[in-house]
Amino acid sequence: MASVVGSFIAIKFIELYTKDFIKWDAYKLGLIDENGKKLRDAENSKEAKEFVSWKNLIRKLKIILNKLPLGQFATKLASFASAFWLLKEDLDTQGLEGYKVINTIQEFLTKDIDNTMLTESKLEFGKFTIINEVSPTLVLINEQTKIVGTVFGINIYEVKDLITSEIYFVSSHDIERL
């Protein structure tokens, strides 16, 4: 049950994060501007619900990430796609149909997005490390490296660490050539 609740919270987080600020209830109530900047304090309980801690966290995170150049945004989106694939895998282990859940979320999140922004880099052969992984990694990309799925039009690959034999799910944006 706790896993289902955690998945629900993750979905609500993603749902709010992907909405433009002008579609937020806080904007409609005049509490924030189109860039997410707080304009005034809440004056009643309905308005106070728009400043609960998790919504404030998402608002502040969105403000910070909106300042990133598009190139960095595309890389973050690709990492986001890998995270979605891991969520799918987790849902599958709980006996839920992860692929259906991810497809439903993807359809919801991308209904207002220009898909020309979602471009995938071609995966090249060679030795790579996984970016932002705590422990050093060494993965080999070759003709046996297979696409295990796609999220937001971004290919997800299953790779094996040559040092630890641990399996990772990555996009082309999650790895760098050694």
**DSSP conformation class of 22:** G
* Pair (91, 142) in one structural domain: no
Q: 121 in a domain, yes or no?
A: no
pLDDT tens per residue, range 82-125: 666 767 777 777 777 776 776 666 666 555 544 444 445 567 88
Q: 90 in a domain, yes or no?
A: yes
Sign of CA dihedral 139, 158, 147, 73: negative
Stretch among 18-27, 48-57, 64-73, 135-144 having the lowest mean pLDDT: 64-73
* Pair (65, 101) in one structural domain: yes
Query: If we measure between CA atoms, which residue out of 50, 58, 71 comes closest to residue 20?
Result: 58
Query: pTM surpassing 0.75?
Result: no
**Domain extent for 92:** 2-114
Which of residues 114, 139, 168 is at a domain's end? 114
